[in-house]
């Protein structure tokens, strides 16, 4: 299957570098380049890419607003591009609907795997990055658990709640499997059920849901 990709970055050299790199990957096809967020939204509407590589800081419209417009009106999935690990806009991009983020100096094999994962419906958020988000939220007072969120969470089984908390703590599937003495396949099944019950898209949203609703493990 060929994966169509749209590149959005205000720096021409960066766009050129990504296009050149992606051109070496036989299962990926670049359908366009955008120099700002507005152009990214317009091109996404016209080309309907599978994945958008979205810079954050761009003129006319930033990548966060562009991500929100794309993910709420189209089926495209967005990977946030950032220069600095966990910069101030990265989490906002995830909240806007991004399914993960990459550093611009990402190694080619990692970029390739990330695009393929996102195109298949997964999220790209390594345990290290997740823990960074967790650390950032740990500095904030948890919000009161809303009735709707609490009711949804109550529908999870005891095991699913365990898996939920471990995802929110930044553990990978393999680490969760080791912690709970389960197979990775079983962990994936639990995660699928958790996402369905909570109406979430991926593990990125599990982290957000957990910390926005004060559902951290005690």
Average pLDDT in the chain? 84
Domain covering 3-124, topology: Rossmann fold (3.40.50)
φ, ψ (nearest 5 deg) of residue 140: -105, 150
Split at pLDDT 50, 70, 90, the class of 14 is very high
Q: How far apart are CA 106 and CA 100, in angstroms?
A: 13
**pLDDT surpasses 60 at 125:** yes
Question: Who wins on pLDDT, 218 or 75?
Answer: 75
Query: pTM of the entire structure?
Result: 0.72
3-state secondary structure of 216: coil
Domain boundaries, the chain: 3-124, 136-212
Q: How far apart are CA 88 and CA 140, in angstroms?
A: 15
Question: Who wins on pLDDT, 169 or 33?
Answer: 33
Per-residue CA distances from 42 to 53, 111, 176 (Å): 14, 24, 41
| Superfamily of 136-212 according to CATH | Response regulator (3.40.50.2300)
Lowest mean pLDDT among 6-15, 125-134, 157-166: 125-134
């Amino acid at each position: 299957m060929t994966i169509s990709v749209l590149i959005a970055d205000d720096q021409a050299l960066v766009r050129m570098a990504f296009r050149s790199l992606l051109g070496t990957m036989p299962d990926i096809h670049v359908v366009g380049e955008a120099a700002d967020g507005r152009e990214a939204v317009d091109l996404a509407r016209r080309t309907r890419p599978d994945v958008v590589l979205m810079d954050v800081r761009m003129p006319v419209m930033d990548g966060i607003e562009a991500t929100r417009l794309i993910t709420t009106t189209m089926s495209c999935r967005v990977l946030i591009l950032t220069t600095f690990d966990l910069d101030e806009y990265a989490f906002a991009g995830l909240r806007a609907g991004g399914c993960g983020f990459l550093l611009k100096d990402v190694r080619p094999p990692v970029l390739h795997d990330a695009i393929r994962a996102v195109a298949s419906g997964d999220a790209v958020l390594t345990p290290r990055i997740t823990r960074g988000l967790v650390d950032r939220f740990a500095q904030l007072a948890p919000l009161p658990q809303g009735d709707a969120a609490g009711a949804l969470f109550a529908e999870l089984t005891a095991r699913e709640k365990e898996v939920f908390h471990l995802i929110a703590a930044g553990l990978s599937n393999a680490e969760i499997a080791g912690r709970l003495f389960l197979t990775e396949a079983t962990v994936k099944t639990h995660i699928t059920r958790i996402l369905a019950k909570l109406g979430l898209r991926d593990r990125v949203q599990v982290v957000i849901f957990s910390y926005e609703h004060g559902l951290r493990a005690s």
